[in-house]
Structure 1
Amino acid sequence: MAMLLLMRLMQQVNELPVKPPVTLGLMGLQGWLFMNPPPFLDRVSDVCMSAFSVIQMGELYRIIAASLFHLDAYHLYYNMSSFLVKGVALEQRLGSPLMLAMTLGLLVATNIIHLALSVALDDWMTCSLGFSGVLFALKVIVTYDLQDPNQDAYFYGIRLPSKHLVWVEIAFIQMVMPQASMLGHASGALAGFGFLALRRLAPALLRWVPREAPRTYGSGFWGAPRQQRHQEPTYGNAAPPYGNAAPEPPRARPQPTAPSGASLSADELRRRRVDRYAQSAR
């Protein structure tokens, strides 16, 4: 049965016009771990996550490992089929690097929220396993990023806004499959909403980051923005003391003028008047 489900999943992948590498890589990793579990993680009790195992026993690896392993072939198939649809849409929109970073971040955030809720509800021993929590986080992002959250959707003939569909699905799965981890699914949805809220707050938070204001000393810049820090300082009209430019010669000092008439003696003035009169009489 596992091989039939795997072949059906591969058929869905082959029908894709674009093969998203991150989505397919994560699907392949989880399929490989299901078919070939490491010898030290070959039991469900070795990889499932509970508040007791992580917080009391300090087994932090379960925060990641619990989302990459599955109970059986059906569990793996339905999770990977859902991930294929959501991953293709998001990876084409975001690009592979951001898709990888976002998925890993949501995985960790989902399980941390799950642990916090387990402690708050005093549920230390319930052990969860599977990728479902991450899928609900991705579903929230798809609903608000790729769709209109206020657009009507249909769930088994029931008409409701698509933004409420994630909570209806969580409740429905819990009714049909009581053994499913409702807390894990709800934690994934909360992680998705947290991602959207953080992304909206990021521009506002960046505006609170202090920036260096440009301060001037003379004609140069100190503490200026990066594009101004490498400008050559200017110093009025003075020539630079380096480079190929020749230094400007010193300006000539004004020569002292001849003494004015007020400083001549009376006899000298009388003699000059007589000389001018004699010349004019000729």
Structure 2
Amino acid sequence: MERRQRGVSAGLLLLLYQISQVGLQNIPCVTLGVLVLNIFLFLNPVRPLSEVCLSVNEAVHRKNWQRLLLAPFHHADDWHLYYNMISMLWKGIMLERKLKSIWFAYIIAVFSVLIGVVYMVLELLLVVILDDPSYEMNCGVGFSGVLFALKVLNNHYNPGRVSSVFGLPISSKYACWVELVAIHLISPGTSFAGHLAGILVGLMYTMGPLKKIMQACAGI
């Protein structure tokens, strides 16, 4: 897996333009920090994508656990970065103002790692159910799993809204599921398991025990 484009490119320039239109002063600090980190690592990757992407084979069998930390913050190309960061921009502004910066930063940190763990569990289940060991080799990068989890949180804190999924009005309650299927059908190369992992972690927070566990760990 290698980055298809390097340096300043159309997607990156458009992303910077969109950020400038919103105004740095209007972007909460944690959201801005996530944007800056992802842009910085796109321009200055820690390692080649083949050495940071997350898979069962690399993380479990070869014990390269650092990929849990690196994979979410690296992107395959400028448009991958653009779409993820535009989504992060708007979700971050809404959620950080709602949850406050320290807790939102905590959520981003926990979700980034936990989604990777759930992703590998899903891939292992596919290996067992389909009897196909190739799923252990699926190697993913990008922030989209975290964004699906944040979408679940955003819909939870803003119930009753209608979201537009590829131009179709969908109840926010079901929007993440429709988007999960639609993205996979339109772009089969995307990580279905990675996106599903994000939704599951989001539900673990809004409907399951994850929020209480995080609060207990934080001493709240």
- TM score, norm. by length of structure 1: 0.66
1:94 aligns with 2:91: no
**Shift in alpha-carbon separation, 1:35–1:140, aligned structure 2, 3 A:** same
Report % sequence identity: 35
Unaligned runs of 5+ in 1: 207-282
**Shift in alpha-carbon separation, 1:22–1:152, aligned structure 2, 3 A:** closer
1:9 Cα deviation after fit: 3.2
1:185 aligned partner: 195
SS in 1 for 2:188: coil
Kept after mapping to 2: 8 A contact 1:9/1:77: no
Considering only aligned residues, what root-mean-square deviation do their CA atoms show, in Å? 2.2
Number of equivalences: 199
1:194 aligns with 2:204: yes
Q: Which of 30, 34, 50 is matched with 2:38 structurally?
A: 30
**Shift in alpha-carbon separation, 1:95–1:44, aligned structure 2, 3 A:** same
SS in 2 for 1:121: helix
1:18 Cα deviation after fit: 2.7
Distance 1:46 1:133 in 2: 19
Unaligned runs of 5+ in 2: 1-8, 128-134
Q: Which of 182, 190, 204 is matched with 1:172 structurally?
A: 182
Describe the superposition over 1:77-102 as per-residue Cα deviations: whole angstroms up to 9, x where unpaired.
11000000000101111111001001
Amino acid at match of 1:96: S
SS in 1 for 2:137: coil
1:109 Cα deviation after fit: 1.4
**Shift in alpha-carbon separation, 1:200–1:52, aligned structure 2, 3 A:** closer
Pick 1 or 2: higher relative contact order, CA cutoff 8 A, min separation 6. Answer: 2
Describe the superposition over 1:62-116 as per-residue Cα deviations: whole angstroms up to 9, x where unpaired.
1111000000011101100000000010111111100100111111111110011
1:54 aligned partner: 59
Instruction: Tell me which structure has the larger Cα radius of gyration.
Output: 1
1:160 Cα deviation after fit: 3.6
More helix by share: 2
